[in-house]
Amino acid sequence: MDPSSAGAGGSSLPSPSCPDAEKRRVCYFYDPEVGNYYYGQGHPMKPHRVRMTHALLAHYGLLTQMQVLRPHPARDRDLTRFHSDDYVAFLRSVTPETQLDQIRSLRRFNVGEDCPVFDGLYSYCQTYAGASVGGAVKLNHGGHDIAINWSGGLHHAKKSEASGFCYVNDIVLAILELLKINERVLYVDIDIHHGDGVEEAFYTTNRVMTVSFHKFGEYFPGTGDIRDIGYSEGKYYCLNVPLDDGVDDDSYQSIFKPIMSKVMEMFRPGAVVLQCGADSLSGDRLGCFNLSSNGHAECVKYMRSFNVPLLLLGGGGYTIRNVARCWCYETGVALGQELKGKMPYNEYYEYFGPEYSLHVPQSNMENKNTGKQLEDIKCKILENLSKLQHAPSVQFQERTPETALPETDEDQEDPDERHGPDSDMVLGDLEPLEQSARRSVIQRTEFTDTQTKDQVLYHHGNGATTEQRGQGTTAEGIDSSQQDPKLRESISDRLFSNSRCELLSENSLSIGQVYVSEFIEEEN
């Protein structure tokens, strides 16, 4: 890839998938090692799907239309800005060979059957978490409008517990980074499973709104009732849209667009994080929805249309040929490119037979969501939104990130001294100056008024219980409107140091080193 053209963005011509003709500056995070991690035989979670997605992006010619970045792994101190020290230490130390000596810790941290110990587990967590926060750093700098990390979106992980194939909650870490300069951040989750880990982290704050569209009732994780609306300052800033089996494109959009339109009008976020879990697609190994790839991507297109900085993340998705097709198509939507349905030949071509098409169609499964049910849900959600004040006021001075673009020649510096293992030095993002000078500016718009054994094993439908809310795992410190302004500025200064992301060459298509901060208790 020619570095001078990196990050130039798509042509964004009006197309059926993306009628909005505004150009977008897109960066994309990928580590070529991510596809090597293996949860184990028979496990439905397969990181290999990210490598398949990347291959499709290359053969569709999309990599040359965005800045491709190799992420730096997050360090211990980065992960412990949300996760507990002992949990991170356990993830770092446990191996398949030593796990039998740590039975109590395995139980304590919920690591085992669904979230197994495998070779390179901690490196995997560092990779996908660092990529998500690196994307947030890029958005904070304002040099990009959309950042993509398909290896991220692991929304079930808790402060001190693995859950639902998720170990580290990269989404929470990325949102914390975005909160550094944005008063409000919106999180939207279109995975078939409820985004419980993210909701729990921000359940008591009005600076993050979480909106989850998910299957509810006898289904993992068992949370996400429409009556769960947040607590204390976060009341009504948590929205749950519970859906039933077989929801199709038309039904989904009939509720997604009205709700998100009202959310954007009332909340007015400075940035949006969209978790694009592909297990809501028709035919997913563990899913029971009936969305086509076009219907799924319609959510991406709609959120893109608001011209707010957008972080696109992966998530669930267990029929991997469909996952790769979906995320490739949605990358095209982000770039404003209409991709041909006939798939180009690629190294995974045989996975996509016999149709060899980019698009995942709907099936003829029954839609158990009636029009009345959907209307009732929509009305309830809109009623909750009506109880919000427009754009909650937070005494927060917008500031530029501490990460400064390098002005000196780094080749003249000692790389070990520049970034030693214990260094807190601020590192700048490296990108071509010519590219930066050519970037266009986006003007923000105003907002207007088949059950298998694996399924049984991993659904956790029976016995799932709603978790206690607001007890110890929420990001309590970010809701700080009553604090002294000088204290808030000090906290903002410390919320995050910054990251450096390496521009990938075309031949080494493979996380920003991120320092997210401890919560506000540190200041007290």
For 319-341, give one letter per residue: b (16+ CB within 10 A) or e.
Answer: bbbbbbbbbbbbbbbbbbbebee
CA distance 412 to 291: 53
CA distance 147 to 152: 12
CA distance 59 to 370: 41
Mind giving me the DSSP string for 77-99?
HHHTTTS-HHHHHHHHH--TTTG
* H helix or E strand, kind and range, residue 211: strand 208-215
* CA-to-CA dists, residue 286 to 168, 193, 215, 302, angstroms: 21, 10, 12, 26
Spatial CA neighbour of 394 closest among 206, 239, 174 = 206
Per DSSP, 163 falls in state B
CA distance 57 to 504: 14
From the CB of residue 483, how many other CB atoms can be counted at a distance below 10 Å?
15
For 124-151, give one letter per residue: b (16+ CB within 10 A) or e.
Answer: bbbbbbbbbbbbbbbbbbebbbbbbbbb
**Is residue 156 flagged as an active site residue?**
yes
CA distance 29 to 228: 34
* CA-to-CA dists, residue 503 to 2, 29, 105, angstroms: 11, 10, 39
CA distance 178 to 248: 33
* H helix or E strand, kind and range, residue 238: strand 238-243
Catalytic residue among 156, 194, 296, 459: 156
Place of tokens 């020290």: 85
The size of the chain, in residues, is 524
Residue 412's SS3 state is helix
User: Which residue numbers are catalytic?
Assistant: 156
